[in-house]
Amino acid sequence: MPRLAATYDENWAYSPAFVDWLTGCIQRRLRITASERAADIGCGTGLFARGLAQYADVVVCADPSAPMLAQLPRDNRLVPVVATAEEVASGAVPMPHARYDALLLKEVLHHVEQRETVIAGLARLLGPGGRMLVVMLPTQISYPLFPDALRLFASQQPDPADIAGLLGEAGLETGLTYDRFHLRFPAERYLQMVRDRYMSLLSHFSDEELEAGAAEIRRAHPGEYIEFDETYAFILGTVPGITPAT
């Protein structure tokens, strides 16, 4: 994880537009207001928590990687907690507040084995009118990756509809929507991102396997640029009975 932490933000620095777009997608669904407490579970370096902090009173940033959390900006509204989603959900690692108005889980649940238990535990952290937003990739992606990586992704990625069902079982009113963003990279930059394991999926491959995979991608995409659509599923669960302020 320290190795990934060293290059994580660099990999996304090419496109502030993408970060702004996805932050906007998240905020349009969570509708965080200035008096509310939020938590970003599995926040990494706080790439999206930083934007959400503009709306919230505080954003607690929980992640198991201390090197990732060390890259959070110095901002009193961003509060780091070294913890996994499982530890937060079970209470094994105490959170700074008993209740939250908004919880974000971006690309976290494919790392979690006991998803039903974790979602139920996190739902109990929500106060009246609280919202939980799960942001994840669909089961099929159009990423320019090598075949072994795509097969591994397909074997690991949960179905967003199943996750929506788990939020419902946790007592939340749920909805599932999708948004997409078109990405265009200089080819060599994208290949370096693959070598740098810009997706956690790629951490399962050795340097030699990634180099061979990058060569496969280059053969399939010989042009100056590599382009594809980034599609995300957004599963919103809301504590029933109270509609959050707009």
Neighbours of 35 (CB within 10 A): 9
The DSSP letter of residue 91 is T
Q: What does the pLDDT read at residue 7?
A: 47
**Angle, in degrees to the nearest 10, between helices 147-156 and 207-220:** 110
Q: What does the pLDDT read at residue 4?
A: 46
Q: What does the pLDDT read at residue 142?
A: 87
The mean pLDDT value for 14-39 works out to 93
Q: What does the pLDDT read at residue 67?
A: 94
User: Tokens representing 234?
Assistant: 């957004």
Compute CA distances 182 → 92, 217, 228, whole Å: 40, 18, 6
Q: What does the pLDDT read at residue 82?
A: 98
Beta bridge partners of 170: none
Is residue 85 within 8 A of residue 122, CB to CB? The reply is: yes
Percent of the chain with pLDDT over 90: 87
Given the candidates 3.30.565.10, 2.170.16.10, 3.40.50.720, 3.40.50.150, the CATH classification of the domain at 2-145+156-186+228-238 is 3.40.50.150
Q: What is the DSSP string of 204-224?
A: GS-HHHHHHHHHHHHHH--SS
Name the average pLDDT for the chain: 92
Higher pLDDT, 245 or 23: 23
Domain ranges of the chain: 2-145+156-186+228-238
Q: Is the pLDDT of residue 90 over 70?
A: yes
E runs forming strands in the chain = 37-41, 58-63, 78-82, 100-106, 126-136, 173-186, 225-238
pTM (predicted TM-score): 0.89
The mean pLDDT value for 53-80 works out to 96
